[in-house]
A and B are shown apart, each in its own frame.
Chain A
């Protein structure tokens, strides 16, 4: 309900404002609301669509995966969808919008999506789209911390979820121009840890391929991404050029 109020208020602020809501599920993501469609469409129409989406998503996901507690959502998919939508708007007309993405994220990070998410973050950075993130889950999200840090968005983990609207309207409703002279939450510390490509687990230290910068948690004979063959595994020998240790941040 508070998010709906936030959507309405964004639409209220300027008649040129547009809102697109993308739902992110366990195995799929989809557009649930697009304010540009028809004028009379109201934000309430989002709710039934959202329910429908959740149903479809549940039926589409394999049951057996749910044993390991709360799964992660397909953040990379919805980020890419958002970026695609933005690109479409950029190319479709003479309008020069100043888009931004807000991730309202509740589930824990899925380290398996590391590469896909980082790629979306960098393409957002290239197209000058800030990614704001509002984490409503229990723990901080390292992905979104990095996303907001790299793209110049705001990362916030509200203390009280009852006042979500106040957080949303105070911080995330601010247009990009006004952000230059307003006090906004500063990043307290960003978790820059990466996931390895081989086992998709978050690591502090690892090996990276000097050719394509792929990250591995253990020494490999051959890079699985670019296929370059590494030299002898001599982690204590600094002269080995191909198996370089990643400096922990």
Chain B
């Protein structure tokens, strides 16, 4: 059965898996070099810096001398990563020794950055141009609202009040793997992957969507390398500054419209010209590549009596909580629910694991309880794990059932044989019944035939 695994896979793995040609072309953009460098493991970053002004190949033996004995595994990981990203190229010299040197394009770009300092991709518009910029809080609220609206659309288009401008074909692409629809009459159901997607944090969700977006770009006649470089470039813009949309190329303008629907940028129309304002979601793009350290304000309080209070007015939150709990009543700013055995079983059936629910509750714990350790009461988490293991108590194995043995001896010999080949599942010596695994059935048949002779 093909299974869509929704994992918050690192974006850089995707970049690394690009063909060498594309990757080399990507490095011509200084911003990509910067983003790639920042996404590397610390040791790899350091090596790049160390090798930056060295123009001759460096032998691998020399590089190994840089680390202490117990750091060797980390060293190997770092070097492996660098080679995978084609930042380092490995060559064998005459003495069959591996030597490394930096990718010249990459090296030149980073050198330039270091000597001349970072430059912004484009100058922000002067603030005197008569445009009113939204404050950072407004911008954040806008981004969150856009994103939630998009997510609601994604899981159930009927629930969302506000229509997004994302074409239904684009929506289909995003929904692929998250929703499954048996036939047109039935409303689409969330798949296992879809549930896991909803429980991820925003950055991981964003990357999943962006990855789908990039993966789909070829079909829409866009070059994925262009798209990646534009996205990464976008992440180096300053949050809350306005940028003139005329500085973008035509392709970029279509992209930015899609991104505005996701809440990555806010578009504003002036009298003469229009501009875009990157939100935190956009500028976090390159941050979330490496780690998801940014924490959202939590809203859930779980009590030891399995009741759950969620201080949120968001419909999306309500939908998510409904996935694994029984929502009892809803006040304007509060959702009250209970985690019950039935609600959890429903979640387990949908392929959500107890660990995922627990980590969701912990990540979204209300600031008041987040300081406590553990933020979710232990009896609740333990019970959730127990209920989950309850479901896994019964294991089904294809098997064969034997009865009517001619004699006790034959039965016992058969039992011993089954035990020897590791296929015995169950025996009842009184009734002379025997159950063996399906895979050892041929051996059993052979054995019994020999016994008869």
- Listed in ascending order, the chain A residues whose CB lies under 8 Å from chain B are 4-5, 8-9, 11-16, 39-40, 42-44, 165-166, 169-170, 173-175, 177-178, 180-183
Name B44's closest neighbour in chain A (CB-CB). Answer: A178
Q: Judge whether B200 is part of the interface by a CB distance below 8 angstroms.
A: no
CB-defined contacts of A12 to chain B, threshold 8 Å: 34, 37-38, 110, 113-114, 118
A177 to B50, CA, bound (A): 17
- Residue in A5, A15, A44, A182 whose CB lies within 8 Å of B67: A182
Q: Judge whether B166 is part of the interface by a CB distance below 8 angstroms.
A: no
Q: Judge whether B120 is part of the interface by a CB distance below 8 angstroms.
A: yes
Question: Contacts A169-B49, A173-B49, A183-B67; is A15 near B114 (CB within 8 Å)?
Answer: no
Question: Contacts A42-B118, A170-B50, A183-B68; is A178 near B110 (CB within 8 Å)?
Answer: no
- Listed in ascending order, the chain B residues whose CB lies under 8 Å from chain A are 34, 37-38, 42-43, 45-46, 49-50, 52-53, 65-68, 70-71, 74-75, 110, 113-118, 120, 238, 286-287
- Residue in A8, A14, A170, A174 whose CB lies within 8 Å of B117: A8
Contact B117 A43 (CB under 8 A): yes
Contact B42 A177 (CB under 8 A): yes
- State the main secondary structure of chain A at its contact with B: helix
Q: Can you list 15 contacts pairing A with B, beta carbon distance less than 8 Å?
A: A5-B115, A8-B117, A9-B52, A12-B34, A12-B38, A12-B114, A13-B37, A13-B49, A42-B117, A166-B53, A169-B49, A169-B50, A180-B68, A181-B70, A182-B43
A178 to B42, CA, bound (A): 7
Contact A174 B46 (CB under 8 A): yes
B117 nearest CB across to chain A (Å):
4
Contact A13 B45 (CB under 8 A): yes
Contact B120 A14 (CB under 8 A): no
CB-defined contacts of B34 to chain A, threshold 8 Å: 12
Given contacts A14-B38, A42-B118, 8 further A-B contacts (CB under 8 A): A9-B52, A16-B287, A40-B120, A166-B53, A175-B46, A178-B43, A181-B68, A181-B75
From A12, A165, A170, A182, name the one whose CB has the most chain B CB atoms within 10 angstroms: A12
A173 to B68, CA, bound (A): 17
Name B78's closest neighbour in chain A (CB-CB). Answer: A178
Contact A11 B49 (CB under 8 A): no
- Residue in A8, A39, A169 whose CB lies within 8 Å of B238: A39
B440 nearest CB across to chain A (Å):
50
Name A8's closest neighbour in chain B (CB-CB). Answer: B114
Contact A183 B66 (CB under 8 A): yes
Name B33's closest neighbour in chain A (CB-CB). Answer: A12
Question: Contacts A8-B118, A181-B71, A182-B71; is A15 near B287 (CB within 8 Å)?
Answer: yes
Name A17's closest neighbour in chain B (CB-CB). Answer: B38
Contact B110 A182 (CB under 8 A): no
CB-defined contacts of B52 to chain A, threshold 8 Å: 9, 169
CB-defined contacts of A13 to chain B, threshold 8 Å: 37-38, 45, 49
Contact A11 B71 (CB under 8 A): no
Contact A182 B38 (CB under 8 A): no
A128 nearest CB across to chain B (Å):
18
CB-defined contacts of A44 to chain B, threshold 8 Å: 117
Contact A15 B286 (CB under 8 A): yes
CB-defined contacts of A183 to chain B, threshold 8 Å: 65-68
